[in-house]
Structure 1
């Protein structure tokens, strides 16, 4: 009797499941348009141009992607208008990258970012970026012959540079965290077109939700050192040849030609640890202590590395050069009233019980003084060419 009752209950359960499944809306992939990248441009005051890249599943389609551009005042209306121009229902669950034009980013992007936060189908790992020109230009690049999905390409471009430690993580989560933090400002990568390809050309510095400055070249490396830990980074430095005159080996019997006006060193396997500490609360003086371990991978002239004293000399020269460049970068941050490395967080931590607004911190920030100390240790030497 008991077994029979179990079978009846089991049959009833499966009947309910089948009934519910039959009533559920069937979403065939061919009927969905997966938004993999979206871009926003400022057309005029309170008027936004939105461009979306849609990935298709139709095997008979000529192109794998479709690009739709419309204009509206809000991102919600942009989505509604974009739906009117396609036979596929647009969904955002596969969104990989969001692009804001520099012109728009200078005005502020918090409203558009907030729209992403309110969409439950969009994850926190979406990458946010700024473009040198118009977002629509990047997204319509080589539109007729596009064989790859732009959203996936941009995602992979950013991801591999984050993993190789050349870029800070630019996710939606990270932007929100920095934006809502009174003592730290957001940073986002800058995209531009070069020789028909989209590349990373720098980093945009934000004051709240507006871009006010940007970094290029070596300064991105120093931003990474100040903001995060290196685990296996790499860096190139150039010096006046006279500073290494005593270390340059004579190549007797071998032809050696000086190709460069400077002597360049390349260090890799960089492991770093940075500590920022408020040492004088009254005079707003901070100590920035950086410890580096690295390998001397390459030099553009043959150096005598058999002598430990020569290694120590290189460590000292590299460390002093880094101190100089980091001090210049910190002053650059102050002049532009941006705090991407969290100096404000360290100050706020020493003012427990007293709430500090962003404006109050920015007023104090301009008077901050820095003592920078870099302890560089070369633990290995590689092949010297």
Structure 2
């Protein structure tokens, strides 16, 4: 009998707890999938939410609502005044910041609201918009909705192209990490049906201070992330080759303490998929490997010099030095020690196969 009583009590508690959960019907809420922020004048911020309207046998209709506010955390409350249904953040895929806003006011106060929201996942994508966030969100980019298109665009470039892994969690980790500064991808609206990834923005104290173009992204990823499947074109005097299926790794070595010197060893392995020359002979392979090695060394070193000039450290050299030096003080890293740091990039390129010849 005691066992029966326990079962009855546990079942009753389960029903009571279930009754405490607030139920929300999809048709009765506005499920935010993306939100964008624009600069709206001195101290003012404009926020735009993107939510879908689902229709039978049709792609979702992209809907937006916009409000301006002096206090950034009240933007969603102001947008709610325009909505007939409750606004819910549990399905957000992307947060966008207009570059003007990210450069002048910064993004930290806005990001803080999302890191405190238990309904927002840490895998949320963050991106800077080259232009206005609202204008970009009001396009029509695919049958699965604008937010999903933006999310898939970033995910594809992380998995198959030159964008290092990035999301809300990684941005905050880099921001709070001693000896490292964060970055975000940059998006640009090309037309009402097309968006492109056109760079990476780097932050200092929560504000954009530098941007690199797509041609530089490949070399930045070599410094901060691994390649499991990439593509790069290499030019020699005999022709141009497309190096595909690129795999890469990197590691740091504190080769000297005083003055500070870090050696960055980069290993790259790939396949010649296309070549514009007559024949990919072994000697041509060696020329391609040499040209690729020199390009990696030159372009990666240029990036390091840009970071030193802007007093930012997205690679995390400072954090690495701290882990290798007892009681190291990072308080003046960006302004002083980083400027005196010597970084030697040592690439090793190996081309294993040759494919199509044009």
TM-score (norm 1): 0.85
77-86 or 16-25, which moves further after superposition?
16-25
Q: Shift in Å at residue 60 of structure 1?
A: 11
Task: Work out whether residues 142 and 149 of structure 2, in 8 Å CA contact, stay in contact via their aligned partners in 1.
Answer: no
Corresponding residue SS for 2:32: strand
How much has 1:222 moved relative to structure 2? Answer: 0.3
Structure 1 pair 317–29 and aligned structure 2 pair: CA distance change class (3 A): closer
Paired residue for 2:130? 132
What's the counterpart of residue 175 of structure 1? 171
In the alignment, which residue of structure 2 is the partner of 1:322? 296
Q: Which residue is 2:337 aligned to? A: 364
Instruction: Give the equivalent residue in structure 1 for 2:220.
Output: 223
Structure possessing the higher radius of gyration over alpha carbons: 1
- In the aligned structure 2, how far is the partner of 1:232 from the partner of 1:62? 32
Match of 1:285 among 261, 265, 284: 261
Q: How far 1:146 sits from its partner (Å)?
A: 8.4
Q: Kindly tell me: are residues 66 and 264 of structure 1, through their superposed partners in 2, closer, same or farther at Cα, counting changes over 3 Å?
A: same
Q: Secondary structure at the match of 1:382?
A: strand
Aligned-pair Cα RMSD in Å = 2.4
CA distance, structure 2, for counterparts of residue 23 and residue 180 of structure 1:
37
CA distance in 2, matches of 1:23, 1:290: 55
Aligned equivalent of 1:294:
270
Q: Which runs of 5+ in 2 are unaligned?
A: none
Contact kept in structure 1, 2:308 and 2:338, CA below 8 Å? yes
Distance 1:73 1:173 in 2: 27
> 1:186 aligned to 173, 182, 185, which one?
182
Question: Across the two proteins, how many residue pairs are aligned to each other?
Answer: 356
What is the CA-CA distance between 1:45 and the residue it aligns to?
A: 2.4
Is the 8 Å Cα contact of residues 64 and 147 (structure 1) preserved in structure 2? no
Q: Which runs of 5 or more structure 1 residues have no equivalent in the other structure?
A: 245-262
Residues 17/384 of structure 1: CA separation in 2 closer, same or farther (3 Å cut):
same
Q: Given the alignment, which residue of 239, 243, 247 partners 1:267?
A: 243
Cα shift at 1:155: 0.8
Aligned to 2:110: 112
Q: Does 1:94 align with 2:102?
A: no
Alpha-carbon distance in 1 for matches of 2:243, 2:268: 11
Query: Which position in structure 2 is the counterpart of 1:336?
Result: 310
Q: Which piece of structure 1 moves more, 333-342 or 151-160?
A: 333-342
| Structure 1 CA distance for aligned equivalents of residues 124 and 295 of structure 2 | 36
Aligned-residue offset at 1:84: 1.1
Q: Quote how far apart the aligned CAs of 1:279 are.
A: 1.6
Question: Which residue number in structure 2 is paired with residue 247 of structure 1?
Answer: none
Q: What is the match of residue 254 of structure 1? A: none
Structure 2 distance, partners of 1:23, 1:231, is: 47
Deviates more, 1:106-115 or 1:277-286: 277-286
Contact 2:52 2:60 in 1 (8 A): no
Q: What is the CA deviation profile of residues 326-366 of structure 1, one whole-angstrom value per residue up to 9, with x for unaligned ones?
A: 22222122222221111112222233223322x43432212
Aligned mate of 1:375, from 335, 343, 348: 348
Deviation at 1:193, TM superposition (A): 1.0
